[in-house]
Amino acid sequence: MTTAGRLAAAVKNRRTANIAVLVGAQTVNLGGVLVVTALFAPADFGRFATLFAVAAMVGGASPLRLEVAATTATEADAAQLIRAAMRSNRVAAAATGIIALTCHTVWGQLDGRALAESVALAAVTYAIASAGTYTYARVRERRYMRVSGSKLLTAAVQVAGQVAASAVLPTPAGLLAAAAVGYGAGTLLLLTTTTPTTGIALPPMREVLHRHRAFMLAGAPAGIVSAVAVNLPVAASGVALGTVAAADVALALRIGALPSALLGQALMPLLLGEITHRVRTDAALALPTFMRALRGLTAAGCVSVAAVVAAGWWLIPVVLGPQWHGVGMALLLLSPFLLGQFAVAPVSQSLNAAGRNATQLVWDVARLAATAAVFGAAAAGVIGYRACLLWFSAVMAAAYAAHVALTRAALAGLPDASRREPVAATATAAYR
Nearest CA to 424 among 277, 209, 250, 302? 277
**Amino acid code (one letter) for 166:** S
252 has pLDDT over 70: yes
Distances (CA, A) of 26 to 32, 102, 155, 231, 252: 10, 35, 8, 20, 19
Q: Region 412-431: what's the mean pLDDT?
A: 54
Question: What percentage of the chain reaches a pLDDT higher than 70?
Answer: 86
Q: Region 158-181: what's the mean pLDDT?
A: 87
Q: Confidence band (pLDDT; 50, 70, 90) for 203?
A: confident
Q: Angle CA(140)–CA(142)–CA(143) in degrees, nearest 5? A: 115
Cβ atoms of 112 and 94 closer than 8 Å: no
9 has pLDDT over 60: no
418 has pLDDT over 50: no
Cβ atoms of 130 and 7 closer than 8 Å: no
- How many whole angstroms separate alpha carbon 220 and alpha carbon 201? 28
**What are 376-385's contacts with CB under 8 Å, separation 24+?**
376/240, 378/240, 378/241, 379/236, 379/239, 379/240, 385/241, 385/245
Give the residue with greater pLDDT, 128 vs 11.
128
β-partners of residue 431 are: 143
**Amino acid code (one letter) for 304:** S
Question: What percentage of the chain reaches a pLDDT higher than 90?
Answer: 30
Average predicted confidence (pLDDT) for the chain: 82
| Predicted confidence (pLDDT) per residue in 64-106, tens digit | 889 888 888 888 888 999 999 999 999 999 999 999 999 888 8
Nearest CA to 26 among 301, 260, 296? 260
pLDDT at 15: 66
Q: Confidence band (pLDDT; 50, 70, 90) for 416?
A: low
Query: In the Cβ-directed half-sphere of 13, how many Cα atoms lie within 13 Å?
Result: 8
115 has pLDDT over 50: yes
Q: How far is CA 130 from the centre of its chain?
A: 14
Q: Angle CA(132)–CA(283)–CA(145) in degrees, nearest 5? A: 35
Q: Region 314-340: what's the mean pLDDT?
A: 83
Give the residue with greater pLDDT, 363 vs 195.
363
Q: How far is CA 158 from the centre of its chain?
A: 17
Distances (CA, A) of 292 to 20, 38, 284, 287, 298: 20, 42, 14, 9, 10
366 has pLDDT over 70: yes
